[in-house]
């Protein structure tokens, strides 16, 4: 029987047994990693965005070093690729894609949505981004706003810091985080009230 035909549960048990017997990974480390993976979700990125919208110092720290900024609010980044943050402005909109595979800032956004890995998204995001955003997401980038497509090809992972929408004056960070969706942090949508 080849490795690919092996029952997944048995294979996992055997692998875990070997890792433990050879002293490569402790049970505590495994549990920590599982907990980190379970905790990773778009809610984490949304917390960062909401804090950046309400705290100028945090905003500039986040744009300088996304990983440090994530850790500063309790998001575990150990062993994760460095996180870069792309700032949307009134004159610039960012869209993240990984044309080569499916690189995604999992620590702060969790598992990628199914379409992020599709050949159609990966191809059209670079070939016809304005048309794709308008047709598939009803996100129309105005003509006077530059669109920047960020192809995530190597060791960084990228998230978008969207613009804070109008009508949110005086909102608390929790209220703001609740309106930030994963698509807003990929750049296919923008937050709205």
Partner 1 sequence: MTFLPGDAIRVKDDWPESRGPVHIRTPHYVRGVAGHVKKYLGDFPNPEDLAFGRPALRVPLYHVAFDRTAIWPEHPAKDTLLVEIFEHWLEAA
Contact in structure between 167 and 45 (CB atoms under 8 Å): no
**Nearer Cβ to partner 1 (106/130):** 130
Other beta carbons within 10 angstroms of residue 187's beta carbon come to: 28
Q: At its nearest, how many Å lie between partner 1 and the CB of residue 154?
A: 4
Check residue 146 for interaction with partner 1 (CB under 8 A). Answer: yes
Backbone angles phi, psi at 93, to 5 degrees: -120, 130
Query: DSSP readout, 95-127?
Result: EEE-SSS----HHHH-SPPGGGG-HHHHHHHHH
Q: Which of 35, 126, 140, 178 is the binder for partner 1 (CB under 8 A)? A: 126
Check residue 117 for interaction with partner 1 (CB under 8 A). Answer: no
**Nearer Cβ to partner 1 (84/191):** 84
CA-based R_g, the chain, Å? 19
Check residue 12 for interaction with partner 1 (CB under 8 A). Answer: no
Name the DSSP letter for residue 153: -
Q: At its nearest, how many Å lie between partner 1 and the CB of residue 190?
A: 17
Binding site for partner 1 (CB under 8 A): 82, 84, 99-100, 126-127, 129-130, 143, 146-156
């Amino acid at each position: 029987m080849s490795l690919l035909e092996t029952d997944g549960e048995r294979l996992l048990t055997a692998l875990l047994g070997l890792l433990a017997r050879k002293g490569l990974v402790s049970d505590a480390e495994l549990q920590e990693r599982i907990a980190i993976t379970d905790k990773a979700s778009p809610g984490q990125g949304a917390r960062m965005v909401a804090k950046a919208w309400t705290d100028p110092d945090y905003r500039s720290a986040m744009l300088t070093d996304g990983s440090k900024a994530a850790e500063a609010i309790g998001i575990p980044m150990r062993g994760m690729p460095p996180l870069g943050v792309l700032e949307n402005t009134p004159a610039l909109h960012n869209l993240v894609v990984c044309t080569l595979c499916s690189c995604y800032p999992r620590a702060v956004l969790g598992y990628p949505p199914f379409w992020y890995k599709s050949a159609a998204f990966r191809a059209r995001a670079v070939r016809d981004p304005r048309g794709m955003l308008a047709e598939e997401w009803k996100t129309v980038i105005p003509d006077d706003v530059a669109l920047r497509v960020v192809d995530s090809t190597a060791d960084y992972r990228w998230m978008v810091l969207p613009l804070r929408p109008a009508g949110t004056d005086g909102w608390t960070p929790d209220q703001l985080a609740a309106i930030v969706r994963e698509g807003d942090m990929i750049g296919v949508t923008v937050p709205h009230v």
